Chains A and B, each alone.
Chain A
Amino acid sequence: MSQYTNYIGKPTNRVDGPAKVTGAAKYAAEFNVPNLAYGVVVSSPIAKGRIVKVYSKPVLKIAGVLAVFSHENVPNLAWFDRNYKDDVAPGGSPFRPLHEDKIMFNQQPIALVVAETFEVARYAASILEIEYEEEDHETDIELKRAEGFMPGRGKSGWMPPPPPRGKPDKEWKKAAHRIEHEYIHGTQHHNPMELFATTTEYHPDGTITAYDKTQGVYNCQQYISKIFGLSKSEARVVTQYMGGGFGSGLRPQYSLFMSVMAALELKRSVRVSLTRQQMFSFGHRPYTLQYMKLGTNPDGTLAALQHHALHETSRFEEYTENVVNWSGMLYQCDNVKLGYQLAEIDVFTPQDMRAPGAATGSIALEIAMDEMAFEAGLDPVDFRIRNYAETDQNMSKPFSSKRLRDCYHQGASKFGWDRRNPRPRSMREGNMLVGWGMAGGVWDASQKKAAAKASLSGDGKLLVTSATGDIGTGTYTIMTQIAAEYLGLPIEAVTFKLGDTDMPEAPVEGGSWTAASVGTAVKNVCEELGKKLLKQAQKMKGSPLKKATFDEVEFVNGQIRLRLDPNQAVVIRDVLQASGKDKLEAETSATPNLLKQSTHSMHSHNAVFVEVKVDEDLGTIHVTRVVNAVAAGRILNTKTARSQVLGSVVWGISMALMEETVMDHKFGRYMNHNLSEYHIPVNADIHDIQVVFVEEEDEIVNPLGVKGIGEVGLLGVAAAVSNAVFHATGKRVRSLPIYLDKLL
């Protein structure tokens, strides 16, 4: 790995930055294709029932209205569940927009009004009269505690909790110190800045290009081609830029269905944008109830650990996420019982959101660990180190690499943890109580199959493409760095493009696997191209590389040269010129090396330290300092990676103190469905955040040694805030968000 010198690991500025800040970057709702019509979605005002009648006639009379689509007149479309199943759909029967008269959740999209202008469409949609027959709904998960069930169908990436090990009940009863508590957080919605939107361009030959907001263009392409009976060449999906996703764009959203359906029906380009209110009408982080039991031995090692979770799912799909499994592997414990259940209510299916499952599970586990340390009279960091897991006990496998211990040490030292007075309410500043808390977490390091294409042109410019996404994370930048590194080209000569189904296939941009998956594909394709270049170079007259094998050469500074004798070199541009070709191309894919990977448990880890200041009289909380130490393999770009961890911390603070979508069960409707009342932090809420990367050498995860940085930074942040609040005030808050009234 030591050959990385020029680009990988450097704090390269975002290559897409200038396009974004100058407005040149185009988002889904900004493609102003000719002859565009506008669709506005009508949402159900009730949570359950059926549509008796859609009174479209008066609306159709309004000048400029082109069509009203509902289940009454939607064209004959595919019928089977499998046609509507996207790559990341959970088990069950996917929601089919405008398919039938049945209403299964509040704000369900039930009609689309299309007009010549957005204003007319919006007005017409606002007066469209629809008659309903209401049925009783159930939306309160608290009332469904007794009706939890083990999911049978799951979804890809979901693992049922491992079977119990040891004697978790008996050992818990015998433990020297014990705790037993419930932890709750409410529903949360992703709320990326950019609203979901699709501009479907209808081409004269009947094919379409959908400019969509999605984290997976291929996923959306297969979704619409199966539903509308289009071949892949007839349906192109493009997402070049995305104003945030946080998981909300993993599954195709209904703006895509609506816009494509209307375009095909009207044989005309159609744009459908959702409103902010409608951003609360689909997947979300589920309302989750968790139960923890921990016990320690006299020496401070864990005697027993039990973790149970119950969360909501819809009536039609079994949404699953890994909530409790982490508790069986983050700490060494021989007596473990993990339980996981779902309960059905009348809402839309939850959806992966910012470190799904682990963000939730780490709240319960890491607050409980703090409680346990306090009960046992141990320092929270010391307690964790005493229970450090050297192997993954869930899988009985060694870790491919794990430097969590260094995260604890380096994080604590940067934070100044040794100056902490362990007694709650012991640290003050004027009328404020100061609290220091910590927590941590573990996340998967995974790799999926991905492909890429590289094309080097005569002027020495390299174009690399792969249909992955950049949801603001830095994909454009790190892929450019990897390509520049492996072909030894100046970074300005490399362009990376993504988000187009005309490009080689890549998985949805999620799970923190993009750097590993697409990064490896980019590396592979550059090596393929390198081999072709070498071949051409060897054909050159008097080539100094004539007898060199690929392993004997390196690509540096625009040259191919002998590793052992760098003076023996040819200039890459000259190679192309001499070859007489105007470009050289390669296309290949990268698949995970399962043989190597299957013998190990591959994970990233973090430890996060938080300072809060609490106004004792008024209950206001400010997170004044955060240090987040992250071990996630090799860091490809210290700048974009740091930004990702900063973002994670902000979302963690958000989760701890602000975010909650509140349902009025009378209506089965989320009531704070706007950004004025669904609170996320503003600048004034965010103070000092420091990021420490504890780099790991890992040859097992993938050839680049990267584990992905998108989600791990969020883990433990909310728990650490709650732990710090306890240290400050002596009050333990086990239900998030910690609004000020919980401290009064």
Chain B
Amino acid sequence: MNPFTYSHATAVDDAVRDKASHHDAAYIGGGTNLLDLMKENVERPTHLVGLNRLPLATIKNNPEGGLRLGALATNADTAWHPEVEKRYPLLSQAILAGASPQLRNMATNGGNLMQRTRCYYFYDTTTPCNKREPGSGCSAIGGYNRIHAILGTSQSCIATHPSDMCIALAALEAVVRVSGPNGDRTIDFTDFHRLPGNAPHIDNTLRPGELITGLDLPAKGFEKNYSYLKLRDRTSYAFALVSVAAALDLEGNTIKEARLALGGVAHKPWRDTDVEDALKGQPATADTFRKAATQMLQGARGFGSNDFKVELAKRAIVRALKQATEMKQGPSDVFLNSNP
């Protein structure tokens, strides 16, 4: 770990300015990811801009009928917020499927979006990794890649974005609000994270120095029919091998609108609007779900240790859509959706 300086920002402008005025500075929210990366020498900022005193920890209704989540609200406060629980239970469920209570108490919404991949090689500075050291090669291709991507991969990187929260945010079509040296702007959630292409060191479309200030959730929350299903190597406190955020708007048994996003399979939350469009007007049956799953996984490929994810993702989609349709817990769902 490097020596570094630290300052608290109390206003967004100050934070942006402070960061811009230092070489190799980084924002720090809960620190649950950044500090680990610093201890592993993966990131070596020389100055930290502390964000926790920014007035961005609130959650309140926005003018468009949706909800605005402050970037500095913790994951726990967000998941347990009455409005989130009532109107966006999919988001609550996704957040609670992640990490542990202790981590969620520290982790901020902004930090959650910005957390970096859990690729073993990215974390181990003795091995080549294009994301950590552009041009050094990708060790995961041809190496151990159980937790790696099967969709949208490139020859330079097959890492996944590890967040659970972001999968629900993608399905709910949240909008990211940012402030930067050149002013404020918004980014549609699906455009926020990017695919690795030949620049895997860039995780997202945030411009240098930009700060996430909040997230806007649209009015429609799919609170009646939803499911966040997460499959992992132990029941809690593990990252997703595959996760599915499913949200349905049903009229009787007919799908009026569907949202589907996959986690653990790509460098970004994976959505396919063609699949969602194809679900429109279909009966909510196992057959429909299977077709959607097949379509969603078109073009997916494994890299050895993660080959199983292609089939697992299909089955998970079918199950999540079924759970969203039925909204009742079968015996197995008690284990699958328990989030201690």
CB neighbors of B among A590-617 (8 A): 613, 615, 617
Number of B residues, CB within 8 Å of A = 40
The stretch of B250-258, B273-281, B308-316 that contacts the partner chain: B308-316
Residues on A with beta carbons closer than 8 Å to the beta carbon of B236: 682-685
Residues on B with beta carbons closer than 8 Å to the beta carbon of A622: 235, 335
The stretch of A517-525, A552-560, A659-667 that contacts the partner chain: A659-667
Residues on A with beta carbons closer than 8 Å to the beta carbon of B139: 664, 666-667
Least Cβ–Cβ distance between B339 and chain A, in angstroms: 9
A619 touches B335 (CB 8 A): no
| Residue on B nearest A683 in the bound complex, by CB | B340
A430 touches B144 (CB 8 A): no
Residues on B with beta carbons closer than 8 Å to the beta carbon of A666: 139, 142-143
CB neighbors of B among A673-697 (8 A): 673-674, 676-677, 679-685
Cβ of B233 within 8 Å of any chain A Cβ, yes or no, is yes
A618 touches B118 (CB 8 A): no
B331 touches A620 (CB 8 A): no
B331 touches A679 (CB 8 A): no
A430 contact from B315, B318, B332, Cβ within 8 A = B332
CA of A510 to CA of B340 in the docked complex: distance in angstroms? 34
Centre residue among B120, B142, B340 by max chain A CB count within 10 A: B120
| Residue on A nearest B330 in the bound complex, by CB | A430
Residues on B with beta carbons closer than 8 Å to the beta carbon of A119: 1, 3
Residues on A with beta carbons closer than 8 Å to the beta carbon of B126: 45-46, 667, 669
Residues on B with beta carbons closer than 8 Å to the beta carbon of A672: 120, 144
Least Cβ–Cβ distance between A44 and chain B, in angstroms: 9
- How would residues 632 to 673 of chain A score, 1 for a CB under 8 Å from any chain B CB and 0 otherwise? 000000000000000000000000011000101011010111
A123 touches B234 (CB 8 A): no
Cβ of B303 within 8 Å of any chain A Cβ, yes or no, is no
Cβ of A89 within 8 Å of any chain B Cβ, yes or no, is no
Cβ of B105 within 8 Å of any chain A Cβ, yes or no, is no
B331 touches A740 (CB 8 A): no
B234 touches A432 (CB 8 A): no
Number of A residues, CB within 8 Å of B = 41
B127 touches A669 (CB 8 A): yes
B1 touches A431 (CB 8 A): no
CA of A676 to CA of B41 in the docked complex: distance in angstroms? 17
Cβ of B338 within 8 Å of any chain A Cβ, yes or no, is yes
Cβ of B19 within 8 Å of any chain A Cβ, yes or no, is no
Residues on B with beta carbons closer than 8 Å to the beta carbon of A681: 234
Least Cβ–Cβ distance between A347 and chain B, in angstroms: 16
- How would residues 115 to 137 of chain B score, 1 for a CB under 8 Å from any chain A CB and 0 otherwise? 00010110110110000000000
| Residue on A nearest B335 in the bound complex, by CB | A622
CA of A119 to CA of B139 in the docked complex: distance in angstroms? 30
Least Cβ–Cβ distance between B190 and chain A, in angstroms: 27
A677 touches B118 (CB 8 A): yes
A431 touches B121 (CB 8 A): no
- How would residues 231 to 259 of chain B score, 1 for a CB under 8 Å from any chain A CB and 0 otherwise? 10111111101000000000000000000
A620 touches B144 (CB 8 A): no
Centre residue among A431, A671, A744 by max chain B CB count within 10 A: A671
B335 touches A620 (CB 8 A): yes
Cβ of A26 within 8 Å of any chain B Cβ, yes or no, is no
Residues on A with beta carbons closer than 8 Å to the beta carbon of B206: none
Cβ of B202 within 8 Å of any chain A Cβ, yes or no, is no
B118 touches A676 (CB 8 A): yes
CA of A446 to CA of B241 in the docked complex: distance in angstroms? 44
Cβ of B62 within 8 Å of any chain A Cβ, yes or no, is no
CA of A657 to CA of B232 in the docked complex: distance in angstroms? 12
B118 touches A615 (CB 8 A): no
Residues on B with beta carbons closer than 8 Å to the beta carbon of A679: 233-234, 238
Cβ of A531 within 8 Å of any chain B Cβ, yes or no, is no
CB-CB under 8 A for A684 and B340, given A45-B126, A664-B144: yes
A-B residue pair count with CB separations less than 8 angstroms: 109
CB-CB under 8 A for A618 and B336, given A682-B237, A685-B235, A739-B233: yes
Cβ of A741 within 8 Å of any chain B Cβ, yes or no, is yes
Cβ of A429 within 8 Å of any chain B Cβ, yes or no, is yes
A432 touches B332 (CB 8 A): yes
CA of A430 to CA of B124 in the docked complex: distance in angstroms? 43
Cβ of B285 within 8 Å of any chain A Cβ, yes or no, is no
Least Cβ–Cβ distance between A365 and chain B, in angstroms: 27
B311 contact from A126, A676, A744, Cβ within 8 A = A744
A741 touches B120 (CB 8 A): no
A618 touches B143 (CB 8 A): no
B332 touches A615 (CB 8 A): yes
- How would residues 281 to 306 of chain B score, 1 for a CB under 8 Å from any chain A CB and 0 otherwise? 00000000000000000000000000
Residues on A with beta carbons closer than 8 Å to the beta carbon of B58: none
B315 touches A618 (CB 8 A): yes
Cβ of B2 within 8 Å of any chain A Cβ, yes or no, is yes
Cβ of A267 within 8 Å of any chain B Cβ, yes or no, is no
Residues on A with beta carbons closer than 8 Å to the beta carbon of B143: 664, 666, 671
Residues on A with beta carbons closer than 8 Å to the beta carbon of B238: 676, 679
CA of A619 to CA of B232 in the docked complex: distance in angstroms? 11
B234 touches A431 (CB 8 A): no
A617 touches B3 (CB 8 A): no
Cβ of A448 within 8 Å of any chain B Cβ, yes or no, is no
Cβ of B268 within 8 Å of any chain A Cβ, yes or no, is no
B120 touches A684 (CB 8 A): no
Cβ of A122 within 8 Å of any chain B Cβ, yes or no, is yes
Residues on A with beta carbons closer than 8 Å to the beta carbon of B146: 662
B120 touches A671 (CB 8 A): yes
Least Cβ–Cβ distance between A186 and chain B, in angstroms: 11
| Residue on B nearest A432 in the bound complex, by CB | B332
Question: Sorted from nearest, which 10 A-B pairs have the closest CB atoms?
Answer: A45-B126, A741-B308, A684-B235, A430-B331, A671-B120, A684-B236, A615-B332, A430-B330, A684-B340, A432-B332
Q: List 20 A-B contacts (CB under 8 A).
A: A126-B2, A430-B330, A617-B319, A618-B315, A662-B144, A664-B127, A664-B143, A666-B143, A671-B143, A672-B120, A673-B124, A682-B234, A683-B236, A684-B234, A684-B235, A684-B340, A740-B233, A740-B241, A744-B311, A744-B315
Residues of B that sit less than 8 Å from A by CB: 1-3, 41, 118, 120-121, 123-124, 126-127, 139, 142-144, 146-147, 231, 233-239, 241, 308, 311-312, 315-316, 318-319, 330-332, 335-336, 338, 340
Q: A664-B143, A672-B120 are in contact. List 12 more A-B contacts (CB 8 A).
A: A119-B3, A429-B331, A431-B331, A432-B332, A615-B332, A620-B336, A657-B234, A664-B127, A667-B127, A677-B147, A679-B234, A685-B234
